[in-house]
Amino acid sequence: MSVSELVNGVLSGKRRELARLISLIENEDPEAAEVLSRLYKNTGKAHVIGITGPPGSGKSSLVTKLTAELRKRNKTIGVVCVDPSSPFTGGALLGDRIRMQEHTLDKDVYVRSMGTRGHLGGLARATSDAVRAIDAFGKDIIFVETVGAGQAEVEIIEIAQTIIVTDVPGSGDDIQAIKAGIMEIADIFVVNKKDLPGADRKVTEINAMLDIDPIERAWRPPVLLTNGRTGEGVLEVIEKIQAHLQFLKESGLLEQKGLQRSRDELHDLMRYKLTRELYQKLEGRPEYEAAIKKIAARKEDPYTVAERLIAEFLFSESR
């Protein structure tokens, strides 16, 4: 498929083209960047909702139930589920889709599973761009389900406007995980499996933690109870999602987040491009290799060499 075919396909709602584009993104194919740059103006419309929380805390079933409810309201839905890739073989079992079965044949729902392919932070490297592709494809709401391994899954904050942190009653360790990393990023807490004993206690615990939290918040994250199996409590989650979006808009935070994200993204891209160009220029050149040898032999130091090489590079570029 050519770049134009992909661009036109995605914009006119063709699943096959969208699927192909996401594959290109995952494979870091240069064509993907071309397509994405042409789609960029058509993005930024979707409400991206991150779902994170420990394994077994019902992320997929919550997404399924939210999707069912939002479909009743004629919202179109995209879902990206991220599962860990094996660090040894690079393979991955992507099993979240099983829970989304009831939406498989709905043409207004698009589900894509992704392996992390070695990327840390709870997402795949490709997730952000895949979400953008689905955004351009025209889905109203996009759920991004993180790996859920716990600690450092804060990357989601860069792509989602609203973040739901899920948890289940029982196992007191989870709360440690929440404390350690994702407490700060939650906009909504969902305690799933409300039929299990200890659900109410969990809600109290999380609320108590929010009470003593030193961070100043304009939005106090609500703590909700749901039952992923029966769908109990899902309506309330949707209400809060909408309220949160409303809050973001009214407080100007949405705009602010948008600016911040554009700044970060531009910064990242420039850094990536610069580094790549620099390397391409230097890698394999005899004077570069000689400098490395001198550093290793302690005849030169890396700080000075780095300064010099970058200065030379910038100078040659500006000439």
Partner 1 sequence: MKDSSKLRGLVNKWEDEAVATTVKRFPEREKKFETISGLPVNRLYTPLDLEELDYEKDLGFPGQYPFTRGVQPTGYRGRFWTMRQYSGFATARETNERFHFLLEQGQTGLSIAFDLPTQIGYDSDDVLAQGEVGKVGVAIDSLSDMEVLFEGIPLDKVSTSMTINAPASVLLAMYIAVAVKQGVSMDRLRGTIQNDILKEYVARGTYIFPPKPSMRLITDIFKFCSEKMPLWNTISISGYHIREAGSTAVQEVAFTLADGIAYVQAAIDAGLDVDDFASRLSFFFGSHSDFLEEICKFRAARRLWARIMRERFKAKNDDSCRMRFHTQTAGCTLTAQQPDNNVVRVTLQALQAVLGGTQSLHTNSRDEALSLPTEQSVQIALRTQQIIAHESGVGDTIDPLAGSYYIEALTNKIEESAVAYIEKIDAMGGAPTSIENGFIQREISEAAYQFQKSVDESRRVVVGVNKFTVEEESKFDYLRVNPKAEKEQVKELKKVRLARDEEKVKKTLDHLHTVAKSDENLMPPIIDAVKVYATLGEICGILRDVFGEYKAPDIL
Partner 2 sequence: MSSSKKIRVLVAKPGLDGHDRGAKIVARALRDAGMEVIYTGLRQTPEMIVRAALDEGVHCIGLSILSGAHNALFPRVMELLKEEGIDDVLVVGGGIIPEDDIPELKKAGIAAIFGPGTPLDEIIEYIKANVKL
Paired residues of 218 in beta bridges = none
Residue 64 binds partner 2 (CB under 8 A): no
Query: 27 vs 260, which CB is nearer to partner 2?
Result: 27
Binding-site partner at residue 60 among partner 2, partner 1, none, CB < 5 to 8 Å by type: partner 1
The dihedrals phi and psi of 265, each to the nearest 5 degrees, come to: -65, -45
Query: 229 vs 263, which CB is nearer to partner 1?
Result: 229
What is the C-alpha to C-alpha distance for residues 51 and 61, in angstroms, rounded to an integer? 11
Residue 96 binds partner 1 (CB under 8 A): yes
Residue 56 binds partner 1 (CB under 8 A): yes
Residue 93 binds partner 1 (CB under 8 A): yes
What is the C-alpha to C-alpha distance for residues 13 and 73, in angstroms, rounded to an integer? 20
Q: Quick check: helix, strand or coil at residue 266?
A: helix
Residue 85 binds partner 2 (CB under 8 A): yes
Residue 27 binds partner 2 (CB under 8 A): yes
121: tokens are 């932070």
Tokens 């890739």 map to which residue?
Answer: 85
Residue 166 binds partner 1 (CB under 8 A): no
Q: Which helix (H) or strand (E) holds 284?
A: none
From residue 201, alpha-carbon distances to 137, 167, 198 in Å are 42, 12, 5
Binding-site partner at residue 229 among partner 1, partner 2, none, CB < 5 to 8 Å by type: partner 1
Residue 95 binds partner 2 (CB under 8 A): yes
> Could you tell me which of 318, 319, 302, 309 has the C-alpha nearest to residue 281?
309
Binding-site partner at residue 176 among partner 2, partner 1, none, CB < 5 to 8 Å by type: none
What is the C-alpha to C-alpha distance for residues 148 and 50, in angstroms, rounded to an integer? 11
Which one among 55, 56, 90, 302 touches partner 2, defined by CB under 8 A?
A: 90
Which one among 44, 95, 118, 302 touches partner 1, defined by CB under 8 A?
A: 95
How many residues are present in the chain? 319
Residue 68 binds partner 2 (CB under 8 A): no
The CA-based dihedral angle spanning residues 271, 275, 276, 279, taken in that order and rounded to the nearest 10 degrees: 180
Residue 22 binds partner 2 (CB under 8 A): yes
Amino acid at 81: C
Q: Quick check: helix, strand or coil at residue 104?
A: coil
Query: 89 vs 316, which CB is nearer to partner 2?
Result: 89
Binding-site partner at residue 125 among partner 2, partner 1, none, CB < 5 to 8 Å by type: partner 2
Binding piece for partner 2, criterion CB under 8 A, among 106-114, 237-245, 246-254, 280-288? 106-114
Q: Point out which residues bind partner 1 (CB under 8 A).
A: 56, 60, 93, 95-99, 101-102, 229
